[in-house]
A and B are shown apart, each in its own frame.
Chain A
């Protein structure tokens, strides 16, 4: 695979091929999302990390004016289990409107739960951005 096609696939993963997070959050209600989780995967934090990697870029792409804060806490000690693993929905004055516990959940499950608990509309098919390969 040439580097151009690989790059186009990378761009399309953000804007087109990742379907679940292609939603427009209600900007009049929310100012953004705040994710807090561990740097390491243990104690059920892997789904949160994967959610950040797989779905947050697309959410940011279609909601460029909202802020998406990620707080990662380093905890190499597996016995220490009190590190929060939460997704907070922030209101206009940065107050927390809702919270989702992401511990021991797959990233798909977290996305489904977020979609249920947040006011949103799906991005119409004609508004989706697809990077097309054009031969030079």
Chain B
């Protein structure tokens, strides 16, 4: 019986096959359907090795696939693989952004993103910035707050206090939807004043009254002023300056993804938002308590329906 030697490569694992000539076509078709890459070897050495291997095992015409447990790696191998992958990721992070095939200037990237989002509702046209983080195992997740140059949503603010001077000061400094004292609280309870605000701040002396009158109404919406949430203070101006426009961000998995703008924002607004995000990320890296701090890697600008484009961020 004439023998053919075949080399089958799959996931870098190799095994030798010994097939009778009359079954060759059938088995080749079968292997092709499994999308194996088959190459005939003609060297005598390979034939000899095949025959040696076949003598020690059965001489059936089926495939001699390695056992399923052969894929399991030892702990040491796993550790080595992890170290190798980490060093690869670090190397990628050190490469300049313009070496990536999908790299573009931010302005060009925005032109493509806006084109891809044409005709979509404004609510769906969010531009997202995603930065890969390379960190070693056990390093704390990167988090912090950032203040965007142009926030995505203008918050409607309500301020409650019995101090009229303070209310005037707050009104002059911030764009407040609603400002008032006890009578405003009663008005909201009666329904004469609409409570269509997104966040509420208050001074401590009025909080018990708000809780008793509007506890149910505002509590359900999660906008009741509360010391624990940090929306109650004597010095409202400082508190509001610190709180307003601050967006928290946190590393999830090996990346940070934050909404950076809308398609209808100008290029300048989006660029300034990106710069604000970069400063916040760098500050978070500086504050990270780890022996080896994380590294910022590839940064992508994408949108809800649009492409992901690599930009120069760091």
Contacts and interface: CB of A to CB of B under 8 A. Distances in A.
Q: Are A and B genuine complex partners?
A: yes
B33 interface: no
A59 B111 CA distance: 12
A64 interface: yes
A121 B41 CA distance: 60
A7 B308 contact: yes
Contacts of A134: 101
Interface in B73-99: 95, 99
- In which size bucket is the chain A interface? 20 to 34
A111 interface: no
A70 B118 contact: yes
Contacts of B308: 7
Given A7-B307, A61-B111, A134-B101, A14 B119 contact: no
Given A7-B308, A61-B111, A64-B111, A14 B116 contact: yes
Interface in A42-89: 52, 56-61, 64, 68-70
Interface in B111-160: 111-112, 114-116, 118-120
Contacts, number: 49
Contacts of B27: none
B107 to A, nearest CB: 10
B119 A15 contact: no
- In which size bucket is the chain B interface? 10 to 19
Contacts of B102: 4, 7-8
B100 interface: yes
A64 B114 contact: yes
B307 A15 contact: no
Interface string A1-33: 000100110110011000000000000000000
Top 4 A-B residue pairs of the complex, sorted by shortest distance between their CB atoms = A70-B119, A61-B115, A60-B118, A57-B115
Interface of B: 95, 99-102, 108, 111-112, 114-116, 118-120, 307-309
12 contacts: A4-B101, A8-B102, A11-B307, A14-B112, A35-B119, A56-B118, A60-B114, A60-B115, A70-B120, A135-B101, A136-B100, A136-B101
